[in-house]
Amino acid sequence: MTSAPFDTQLAACAQRTEAFLIARLDGLTAAPRLTDAMRHGALGGGKRLRPFLVEASARLFGVEEREYLAAGAALEMVHCYSLVHDDLPDMDNDHLRRGKPTVWKAYDPALAILAGDALLTEAFRVLTDPQLIADSETRSELVAALAVGSGPDGMVAGQVLDIEGETKRLDEDDIFKMQALKTGALIRTGVEMGAILGRADVETRAALVLYGVHAGLAFQIADDILDVTASSHALGKTVGKDVEQNKSTIVSLRGVDGAREILEHAVEQGIRALNGFGQDAEILRILIRHFAEREH
């Protein structure tokens, strides 16, 4: 990793990811209104934290920019699809996302469903493109990792558990499980994709996955704390959605101070998982602290 400050590195990654997504979407001409809705859901906003996780992990192994950029953009397309679908009237019924109307408000719910579907499927097309990722085994392992992280053993399962939590009381274990799947799975997958691109050995990949699990936990607990402590109107985020819907979160069960303790523990465990990586992994250590300390 370069020694540029964290914010500069994250901004550079966001810019590269945006440019990649613009070019990729410009190449889709079969149904212009669909591509416009995909642009609305994927471009012009978003912190691009997940591509940065792929990049930071891949750079530990000297992976080329072309490869980690493609893998990070694919992961971001899946993340954007999840937000587009999550905002739908039959899910969270949100009107604003990233400071602008949600895709279903700007277009209509049917097109928002299809734009989400198209972002999801296009992500996998990116990962199978030999012009972007040279080695065929790497491509197929990336596809498998993203399918696990995003599908019925990952994010989609988490979303279902979250919806079930609206009608039944979740205990702490249920909440940890739901969050590890709904938000944590894609974060973990980002770090894992870097390890796959780097052809990391089994132990090295497992250490990075362990870091990713704790990074996902830190991200979600920080989000729950922000829901009750911060005002994020300016960002177009629905403030305290879980609070508003009376959903159980770690904060509602343990209080803000209790949640902060769990958050600090997750950060420590994540950093400990990187013990074997030395100075090269400093950016991942900064990143997990950034997750814990973020203000939006």
Given the rule CB under 6 A, which residues bind ligand GRG?
Answer: 46-47, 49, 79, 82-83, 85-86, 98, 155-156, 159, 182-183, 223
Nearer CB in complex with ligand GRG: 33/296: 296
> Which long-range contacts link 20-25 to residues 24+ away (Cβ below 8 Å)?
20/69, 20/70, 20/73, 21/73, 21/76, 21/77, 24/73, 24/122, 24/126
CB of 204 to ligand GRG, least distance (A): 26
Q: Which residue has the tokens 């979303």?
A: 159
Residue 193, Cα to own-chain centre: how many angstroms? 12
CB of 136 to ligand GRG, least distance (A): 29
CB of 179 to ligand GRG, least distance (A): 8
Measured CA to CA, the distance from residue 90 to residue 293 in angstroms comes to: 32
CA atoms within 13 A on the CB side of 287: 29
CB of 108 to ligand GRG, least distance (A): 17
Q: Are 147 and 75 in contact (CB under 8 A)?
A: no
CB of 259 to ligand GRG, least distance (A): 15
CB of 36 to ligand GRG, least distance (A): 19
Nearer CB in complex with ligand GRG: 24/85: 85
Measured CA to CA, the distance from residue 178 to residue 6 in angstroms comes to: 30
CB of 3 to ligand GRG, least distance (A): 25
Nearer CB in complex with ligand GRG: 198/216: 216
Nearer CB in complex with ligand GRG: 207/251: 251
Measured CA to CA, the distance from residue 259 to residue 224 in angstroms comes to: 9
Nearer CB in complex with ligand GRG: 85/139: 85
**What 3-state class would DSSP assign to 101?**
strand
Tokens of 261: 């303790």
Q: What is the torsional sign of CA 137, 153, 205, 221?
A: positive
Through-space distance between the first and last CA atoms of the chain, rounded to whole angstroms = 25
Nearer CB in complex with ligand GRG: 178/283: 178
Nearer CB in complex with ligand GRG: 10/273: 10
